Amino acid sequence: MHLWLKPEQAQELAAYARAAQPNECCGVILGRGEAVEQVVPIPNVASEPKYNYHMDEKALLKVLYEAEHKQREVIGFYHSHPRTEPIPSPTDTKLANYPDAAYMIVGLRNGEARLAAWSIKRSQVAPIKLIISADKPVVETAQLTIVQKRAIIASAIIAFIFMLVLSLSLLPPAPIIPLH
C-alpha 174/C-alpha 91 separation (Å) is 71
C-alpha 133/C-alpha 71 separation (Å) is 24
DSSP 113-150: -EEEEEEEETTEEEEEEEEE-SSPPPPP-----HHHHH
Q: How many CA atoms lie within 13 A of 31 on its CB side?
A: 19
> Quick one: how far is CA 29 from the chain centroid?
12
Contact present, 115 and 10 (Cβ < 8 Å): yes
97: three-class secondary structure by DSSP: coil
Instruction: Mark whether 37 is an active-site residue.
Output: no
Contact present, 120 and 96 (Cβ < 8 Å): yes
Single out the catalytic residue among 8, 12, 24, 140: 24
C-alpha 55/C-alpha 119 separation (Å) is 19
Active site residues: 24
